[in-house]
Each structure stands twice: as C-alpha cells, then as structure tokens.
A and B are shown apart, each in its own frame.
Chain A
Amino acid sequence: MPLTVEIVTAERVVRVEEGVDALIVPATEGQLTILPSHAALMTTLDYGELIFRRSSGEEFFAVGGGFMEVKNDRVSVLADAAEVSDEIDVDRAEQARQRAEARLRQARDQQSEIDLARAQAALQRSLLRLRVAGRRRRLPGAPRPGG
C-alpha cells in the first residue's frame, strides 16, 4: 500500500497526497527514505529537499526544518516552512541569494558573529530554494539533470 503524505505548515496545508511510493526527507540525522510499511517514526527535519516519488514521476519541495511522523503508512510532515518547486519564484530567490551574499561579506568585514550566522542561514535558505526550483516536475525516463 502506497503512502499518504501530508505536508502542513503553521500557515497552511501545503499538500495532501495519496499514492506516494517513496518519500525522501532531509532528517536531522541525514537524508531518509520512507517506503511503505515503515515502522512508526518520529523525527526532526533539517533544511533541505523533500521528494515525492511515484510511478508517474517525482515532485520536489523545499522544507525549512520541522518534524515528521510516520505511522501506518501515513506521513505527516509538520514543516516550519515548505514550498513546492513550481511555486518558488526563481527571481526572488536569486535576489535573496545576492542579498545574503552581500550581507555575508559585510558581516565578515565587521566580524559580527551573529550577523555572520544570520547571513549564512539566509544564504543556505536561498540556495536551497534555487536548487529545488531548478528541479521541476520530472517524468519517468527523462534524463536526470547533471547525470
């Protein structure tokens, strides 16, 4: 029996989807693949890419930390932030990346550790969004980007 996956954030329900064959999530302990009949699991998530895999293709999400609960083939992802790749505004993400880089340089010059950490986090976020945005819905058989 395939998985039923639900991705929710404090703000909205991002996606509820049945019939997912495999789910790849950025867990804190490393990337994790959830297959049907997985044992009951509760884990924290990190910044990263979350992937739905189905026979009909793959779908990509950027998630920004949170939790995931797996039980009886039901997966609940409680994300602090989540966006499906098609929704990501590439121009804005690119602008955010440039801003973050500028801030990073500034923080380095001023040697302010808090600013540095903040700028690094912002840079990471924007890079993640850019990467996920680049991964549009992929159909089976289509060549994978970069190999």
Chain B
Amino acid sequence: MATLRQLKRRITSVRNTAKITNALQLVAASKMRRAQDRALQARPYAEQLQRVLAGLANASGDDEESTHPLLTHRPVENIGILHITPDRGLCGGLNANLNRAAGQWVATQEHPVSIVSVGKKGREFFARARTNIGAEFTELGDYPRPSDTLAISRVVTQDFINGAVDEVYISYPRFVSTASQVPTIARLLPIEPPAADEAEEGLAGDYIFEPSPAVVFERLLPRYVDMIIYQAVLENSASFQAAQMVAMKNATDNASEIEQELTLTYNKARQEQITNELLDIVGGAAALEA
C-alpha cells in the first residue's frame, strides 16, 4: 500500500503530464487548421495543372508522349521510393503505420529499391532496416513552401532520368479526416498523364500552342512532378498535426482518468488513517476506564 505522500506525489506528476499533453493538443489543433488550409489553397493549381496536362496529352498525340524522358517506360531493374513522413513523434500510430506500409512494400518488390526519405521518422526506420537510402530531407517545418520541396523533386527526377532507377513511387500519409490518415503508395514516375474528360478531349485539338506543344509539354511535366510532391508534403504535414492532436487528446483524457482514480485512492487512504487514529484513541480511553 502506497503511503499518502507517495500518492500525493503521483497525483501531482500525472496532473503535470496532463498539462503538457493538453498544451500540445491545442498547438496541434491550431497548426492542423493552418496546414489544412494550405492544402486547400494548393488544390486549384493542382486541378488546373492536371486538366491542362490531360488536354495536352491528348492534343499532342503519341509522339511527345513516348519521347519525353519523364514519360518513358523502361524495363524495370531498379526502383526508387520517395518516403514522406513527419519529423517528430507523439502522434499515435501514424509513423509506425507509414513505416510498416513502406517497409512491407519494399520487402515485396522483386527489384532492388533505393529510398529517398523526407522526414526523420522514415529515415530512422530505413536506416535501422539497413536499406539503401539515396537521399534524405528533414526539417521542412510545419508549413513547407513549394520552394522547399523543389530540391526533392529535382533529386527524384534526376535519378529517374539518368537511369539510376526505372520507376519511382511515392509513399505518404493521405489526409482523409482528423481521425483517419491512410498510408498511400502510388507511382510517381514515369508519369501517367491523367485521363481527360469527354469535353476536354473534343476541344484539345483546337488550342494554339506557343511556342509549340512539345515545349509546353516539356515545361509542364516537371511542374506536374513538383506539384504532386508538394501536395504529398502538405498532406503529410496536415496528417501529422491531426494525428498528434488526437493522440494528445487521448493522453490528456487518460491522464485525468488516472488522476481521478489516484485521488479516490488517496482520499480512501486518508480516511482509513483517520479511522485508525480514532480507533487508537477510543481504544486507549477504553483501556484507561477499565
């Protein structure tokens, strides 16, 4: 049986922990709102770019598609994966889920896989697993900007163009809702141009291209890769804040539950002590009378 003083100490400690987790929860909640907002702000550009690329892929015909290096399918010998994770922990199962998904994916590939990691948690995981890490990026901050992710797409595209890898995949947490972030792995390179809607297709041929379809296409494709990576990094950021918020909320709830239980135990123990003391006194008095 713990003494009163020990109980008291534990209660204080749990209360302090709750204060910290509560503060983290509030910070994560406000950061999540901002991160979500940025993801929303980035959407129109992504949609427009996708639409234009779809229209263009149809307009420019098969020549451009088969010749541009970012669209070229090669026999696969080496694979690259861009693994995007948060830098920090205290976010429930998010990091573990991401790393498990990517780890399993890598293990099931028939070809050698090299990793480009974004975020410390993914790098640590693959470093522990002794997998080949080609490049790493960390500390992108809570609100990464497009210019922050350019270096990433440069590295990935270079590896693909110079033949170091024949396919590149991207792994990131897709932000579904505050409660759900799904580890997602999709192919990034070679680019699969998005399919055009019916209406787009009909009009695509009527465009005037300046300087020429090939030049526009050539400048559009790298942007498309940049955009997908930027979006994934934004989703990663929003997912991290959401997961942290939820994890910290649970932690705060648990802490207050424990605090209540401990307080109850403490009060019982105190009562018991008082009762014992009373019994002693009464017993003593009775002994004197006898």
Contacts and interface: CB of A to CB of B under 8 A. Distances in A.
Given A11-B41, A67-B216, A42 B207 contact: yes
Interface in A29-87: 29, 32, 39-44, 66-67, 69, 71, 76, 78, 80
B219 A67 contact: yes
Interface residues of A, number: 24
Contact of A28 (B207, B210, B226, B227): B210
Interface residues of B, number: 28
The A contact surface, by secondary structure, is strand
Contacts of A40: 203, 206-208
A32 B208 CA distance: 13
Contact of A44 (B48, B146, B211): B211
B216 A9 contact: no
Most buried by B among A39, A66, A78: A78
Contacts of B209: 41-43
B52 A67 contact: yes
A27 interface: yes
B146 to A, nearest CB: 4
B208 A41 contact: yes
B207 A13 contact: no
A78 B49 contact: yes
A8 interface: yes
Contacts of B262: none
B52 A42 contact: yes
A1 interface: no
B210 A43 contact: yes
B90 interface: no
Contacts of A8: 44-45, 48
Contacts of B223: 66-67, 78, 80
Contacts of A11: 38, 41-42, 45, 145-146
B131 to A, nearest CB: 30
A39 to B, nearest CB: 6
Q: Return the 9 tightest CB-CB contacts between A and B, nearest first.
A: A43-B210, A10-B146, A12-B41, A8-B45, A40-B207, A8-B44, A41-B208, A42-B207, A40-B206
Interface of A: 6, 8-13, 27-29, 32, 39-44, 66-67, 69, 71, 76, 78, 80
Given A28-B215, A43-B216, A69-B48, 4 more contacts: A40-B203, A44-B210, A76-B48, A78-B52
17 contacts: A6-B44, A10-B45, A10-B46, A10-B146, A10-B230, A12-B41, A28-B211, A28-B215, A40-B207, A40-B208, A41-B209, A41-B210, A43-B210, A43-B211, A44-B215, A67-B223, A71-B207
